[in-house]
Amino acid sequence: MKILVATEKPFAKKAVDGIRSIAEEAGHTLALLEKYTDKAQLLEAVADADALIVRSDKVTAEVIAAARNLKIVVRAGAGYDNVDLAAATARGIVVMNTPGQNSNAVAELALAMMIFMSRNRFTPGTGSELQGKTLGIHAYGNVGRLVGRKGKALGMNVVAFDPFITDVAVFAADGVEPVSSVEELYRRSDFLSLHIPATAETRGSIGYDRLMSMPKGATLVNTARKEVIDEEGLARALAEREDLKYVTDIAAAMQAELDERFGKRVFATPKKMGAETAEANVNAGLAAARQIAEFFATGCTRFQVNK
Ligand code: 3PG
């Protein structure tokens, strides 16, 4: 089988080498399309691929239609909002993610962003500390849990909200306090770390009301997806409350305007870098390769997201 790794934002070499070894040891061939700049390159490269490994690369209905032999797509990472699941399912193509594999890198970045913002973006002047502040975690999945544990280690009071976790023992195990409503979470959080996926329900769900309810001097930290933010509402809240801050790993569509209007109170990384560590690349990339090898060898569909 031909496995194509199509990554506009390439994996570290060590990860690519590992993916190649797994593929070839299982009797498959590996093709690489890295740093592509045009959708046409992806459409051409997928034409004869049996399996596809991507990161945030857009696997649209057009890409799926062009991939005539495609049987499996693995998103090497957590969020699979970049894959057209309906188009894949209609063709009987299995779509998987690699949950948890890049979580530590994202969690470390979330904490780093909190320190960066509370230390005046590393410019001269008096900053503040994380210790003793309340850290709210919106969605307690793989990344949220790691952020919670690291926040505890830094002496923060950690509270979390996740409507899908009913077992309070999950929070108790980390010394984290579960709160019963999303309203309470935002009302209490000096730092609010977002870990919700981009879905029909969450798109544009974080905006004016949530921000306005946050304590004085609060910072919203987004290492999740830009789509979950209601950007107009965010801008309105930042304009009305000069104490609020927004830091994101996924630049807003209106980031240039936010930067111009709110200066040092907002910051966006130039390109999403949450999962950009050699360790995360190796973890997620090799997991993707193993999942594909196992799928072809045994039909295993563990981690399938379009069942
Ligand atoms: C994920 O969903 O796993 C992260 O957002 C990482 O995305 P990336 O692989 O494009 O860096």
pLDDT tens per residue, range 218-228: 999 999 999 99
Do residues 11 and 19 make contact, with C-beta atoms less than 8 angstroms apart? yes
**Alpha carbons 97 and 269: distance in angstroms, whole number:** 24
Q: Is there an atom of ligand 1 within 6 Å of 56 CB?
A: yes
pLDDT at 172: 98
pLDDT band of residue 147 (cuts 50, 70, 90) is very high
**Ligand 1 centre distance from Cα of residue 126 (Å):** 34
Ordered DSSP codes for 95-116: EEE-TTTTHHHHHHHHHHHHHH
pLDDT band of residue 87 (cuts 50, 70, 90) is very high
Which stretch of DSSP H or E encloses residue 5?
strand 2-7
Instruction: Give the residue, by CA position, lying nearest to ligand 1 atom 9.
Output: 55
Instruction: Express as a percent the part of the chain with pLDDT over 70.
Output: 100
Do residues 206 and 149 make contact, with C-beta atoms less than 8 angstroms apart? no
**Ligand 1 centre distance from Cα of residue 59 (Å):** 14
Region 154-174: what's the mean pLDDT? 97
Q: Is there an atom of ligand 1 within 6 Å of 275 CB?
A: yes
pLDDT band of residue 82 (cuts 50, 70, 90) is very high
DSSP secondary structure code for residue 97 in this structure: E
Do residues 73 and 94 make contact, with C-beta atoms less than 8 angstroms apart? yes
pLDDT at 55: 98
DSSP secondary structure code for residue 133 in this structure: S
pLDDT at 174: 98
pLDDT band of residue 167 (cuts 50, 70, 90) is very high
Instruction: Give the residue, by CA position, lying nearest to ligand 1 atom 3.
Output: 77
pLDDT at 233: 98
Reported as half-sphere exposure (CB side, CA atoms, 13 A), residue 302 has a value of: 10
Q: Is there an atom of ligand 1 within 6 Å of 79 CB?
A: yes
Instruction: Give the residue, by CA position, lying nearest to ligand 1 atom 6.
Output: 275
Q: Is there an atom of ligand 1 within 6 Å of 158 CB?
A: no
Region 59-71: what's the mean pLDDT? 98
**Ligand 1 centre distance from Cα of residue 77 (Å):** 5
pLDDT band of residue 288 (cuts 50, 70, 90) is very high
Alpha-carbon torsion angle 186, 230, 198, 149, nearest 10: -30
Instruction: Give the residue, by CA position, lying nearest to ligand 1 atom 5.
Output: 79
**Alpha carbons 280 and 78: distance in angstroms, whole number:** 11
CB-count burial class (<10 Å; 0-12, 13-18, 19+) for 12: middle
Homologous superfamily, domain 2-101+276-298:
NAD(P)-binding Rossmann-like Domain (3.40.50.720)
pLDDT at 305: 98
Give the domain ranges of the chain. Answer: 2-101+276-298, 103-268
pLDDT band of residue 122 (cuts 50, 70, 90) is very high
pLDDT at 68: 98
Region 157-166: what's the mean pLDDT? 97
Nearest to 299 by CA among 145, 96, 126: 96
Average pLDDT value over all residues in the chain:
98
Question: Which atom of ligand 1 has the smallest separation from the CA of 97?
Answer: 3
pLDDT at 118: 98
Nearest to 288 by CA among 140, 102, 108, 119: 102
For the entire predicted model, the pTM comes to 0.97
CB-count burial class (<10 Å; 0-12, 13-18, 19+) for 215: middle
DSSP secondary structure code for residue 215 in this structure: P
pLDDT at 120: 97
| Fold agreement (2-101+276-298, 103-268) | yes
pLDDT band of residue 214 (cuts 50, 70, 90) is very high
Question: Which atom of ligand 1 has the smallest separation from the CA of 98?
Answer: 3
Instruction: Give the residue, by CA position, lying nearest to ligand 1 atom 11.
Output: 275
**Alpha carbons 222 and 207: distance in angstroms, whole number:** 12
Do residues 55 and 288 make contact, with C-beta atoms less than 8 angstroms apart? no
pLDDT at 284: 98
CATH code 3.30.70.890 for 103-268 = no
